[in-house]
Amino acid sequence: MPSLESLRQLRVLVVHPADPDGDSIIRHLQGIGCQVEGMWPPPARLPDRVDVVFYLIDDQTRRSLPWFAGLPQAAIVAVVEHNSPDVLGLLSDCSPQAVVSKPADSFAILSSLILARSIFRYEDRLQNKLRKLDETIRSIRTVEKAKSILMKSKNIKEKEAYEHIRTHAMNRRLPIGKVASTIIDASDLIV
pLDDT averages per 10-residue partition of the chain, 191 residues: 74 92 94 92 84 86 62 85 73 84 91 93 93 94 93 92 93 93 86 63
Euclidean distance between CA atoms 177 and 165, whole angstroms: 9
Helix then strand count (H, E) for the chain reads: 6, 5
Model pLDDT, residue 3: 66
Distance CA 159, CA 166 (A): 10
Contact of 74 with 46, CB cutoff 8 Å: yes
Residue 68: its pLDDT value, please?
61
Residues 176, 135 contacting (CB under 8 angstroms): no
pLDDT at 128: 94
Predicted local confidence at residue 132, as pLDDT: 95
Pair 104, 28: CB distance under 8 Å: yes
Write down the pLDDT at residue 63: 62
